[in-house]
Chains A and B, each alone.
Chain A
Amino acid sequence: MEQQELIPHLFRNEYTKITAVLCKRFGFEHIEAAEDIASDTFLTAAQTWVINGVPANPVAWLYNVAGNKAKNFLKRQHLFQQKIAPALKNAPGFSEETGIDLSPQNISDSQLQMMFAVCDPCIPAEAQIGLALRILCGFGINEIADAFLTNTETINKRLSRAKEKLRQQNVTLQFPAAAAADARLANVLTTIYLLFSEGYYSESTAATVRKDLCLEAMRLCSLLTANEHTNTAPVNALLALMCFHASRFDARVGTNGEMILYDEQDTSLWNTDLVAKGTWYLHRAATGKQISTYHIEATIAYWHTQKEDTPEKWETILQLYNRLLQIAYSPVAALNRTYALAKANGKAAAIKEALQLNLHQHHFYFVLLGELYTGVDEEKARRYFEQALALAKTSADKSAIMRRIQRL
């Protein structure tokens, strides 16, 4: 790999590991120091490697440099505490042996513990996702700003407020106690799911950023399945769900970046490897008695990977949505359930129920009504599509609706 490609590649992979390990060692209150040292390590690498060439083992080189910088930091901290805060009784002792443990086990543990720290419900969901992208996925501030359709200043403020809040809460990098583990893990899964959705449904125009968000969400979830503490049934169900959705990545965006809806997709572009992977995780999720919303959503997503439009497929999807809505209502699930109802019980039944849904602020609601009236009452269909058009925000959504109107 050429050097100009190598450093960004290493940055993506190693920055987050170094930050997590150092942050665990220093304590969360020093997260900025950990980030600075990780960044500084890459700066040193860029400067040194230009002159001396890339070392034989770049990763080991990075860990070594990061370890030395961390030791210096701890030494300075120690001097600070010795001189300026001598009254501090419980100051941690310092010795030259205070090593920085960059073993694979400690890296993996530190990253998982960092995940638990970042996904603390004391900070808003947007900030959790932002921090996860920065600290766990090594995204640049401008990439995060891009994903959230905002500017770097806003993201910087949001992240520093979130870090300050976590410091105030005395968040530590450790696995939660067994009693609290399920609830804390549920928070982590929510953040991962939001991160994935941010990529999958994002209004950002940068397609690569969107895909990266989804892939990072899947990577973080894979870290959870790889660790015995966190390899639970809902974690596997969520990973299965994301694999199934991601299998349609290439089919759902056209050559001009426009969104291609499910029933118009070229099914030969569906990624069968990801479908197989998703199926494998869904089997692993089928342990224990717990049925999470991820289980139901993953099973729905599994049925969507079946190309044949059979009555069984839509009847099963309808019943899964019936169950999902009883546990966790969401407007998207309500709309999708009504679409499945049309497929399973016919358009007349679905129109009747669609008109009861009070979702007038969602353009998808009017897309659904237009879709249901297509072939039943073209004039009504056209009016609903036009209402959808007035509410749609992105050009991709607008052009998809335009195509439907033209086809009437």
Chain B
Amino acid sequence: MDEFMLIFRHEDGQKIASPEQIQVWMKQTMDWIGGIAAQNKFSGGNGLPFEDAKVVWHNNVVTNGPFGEIKETIGGYIMVKADSVDEAVEFAKGCPVLQGDGNSVEVRKIVRGGTDGVH
């Protein structure tokens, strides 16, 4: 079984949601993750809040957040176990982030360095 990372991309990280809306998203996200975990296919994950986000540029220039210069921001990720990329894509389809227009979930296979010579 392989591991895949599902990366949540938000088109506009500057949009401010209401506390009620955030609560609804939180529940939807927890239920979505819980459903994957109930199949014993969850292997980890984290939210990446926008507060205190910094970007370090060429020549060590540091700016606040990725907003403005970059169109998309990463809001979080989870890692899942799946037999194929198609199964991982099926998990991704349930991600509540996708309710937002322009948002996406990127599915990437995780390669653990060491035995296979890929680093």
Contacts from A to B (Cβ < 8 Å): 315, 318-319, 321-323, 325-326, 329, 333-334, 337-338, 341, 345, 353, 356-358
Contacts and interface: CB of A to CB of B under 8 A. Distances in A.
A326 B39 contact: no
B31 A318 contact: yes
Kindly list the 7 A-B residue pairs having the minimum CB-CB distance in the complex, ordered from nearest: A322-B34, A325-B37, A334-B38, A329-B40, A322-B30, A326-B37, A353-B35
Contacts of A329: 37-38, 40, 42
A338 B30 CA distance: 13
Name A's interface SS: helix
A348 to B, nearest CB: 14
A358 B39 contact: yes
B92 interface: no
A338 B37 CA distance: 11
B31 A341 contact: yes
B30 A337 contact: no
A321 to B, nearest CB: 6
Contacts of B38: 321, 325, 329, 333-334, 337-338, 353, 356-357
B39 A345 contact: no
A326 B42 contact: yes
Contacts of A319: 27, 30, 34
B77 to A, nearest CB: 14
B29 to A, nearest CB: 10
B35 A318 contact: no
Given A341-B35, A358-B39, 8 more contacts: A319-B34, A322-B30, A322-B33, A326-B42, A334-B40, A337-B38, A341-B31, A357-B38
Nearest to B39: A356
Contact of A345 (B31, B37, B40): B31
Interface string B13-31: 0000000000000010011
A238 to B, nearest CB: 22
A343 B93 CA distance: 24
B35 A356 contact: yes
Interface residues of B, number: 11
Given A341-B31, A345-B31, A322 B39 contact: no
Contacts of A315: 27
Contacts of B39: 334, 356-358
A318 B34 contact: yes
Contacts of A345: 31
Contacts of A326: 33-34, 37, 42
5 contacts: A319-B30, A319-B34, A325-B38, A337-B34, A356-B38
Contacts of B30: 319, 322-323
A337 B40 CA distance: 13
B35 to A, nearest CB: 5
A315 B42 CA distance: 21
B92 to A, nearest CB: 15
Contacts of A318: 31, 34
Nearest to A325: B37
Contacts of B31: 318, 322, 341, 345
B94 to A, nearest CB: 10
A318 B38 CA distance: 12
Contacts of B34: 318-319, 321-323, 325-326, 337, 341
Nearest to A349: B31
A22 to B, nearest CB: 46
A170 to B, nearest CB: 35
Q: Which of A341, A345, A353 has the most CB of B within 10 A?
A: A353
Contacts of A325: 34, 37-38, 42
Q: Which of B27, B31, B34 has the most CB of A within 10 A?
A: B34
Contacts of B40: 329, 334
Contacts of A323: 30, 34
A333 B38 CA distance: 8
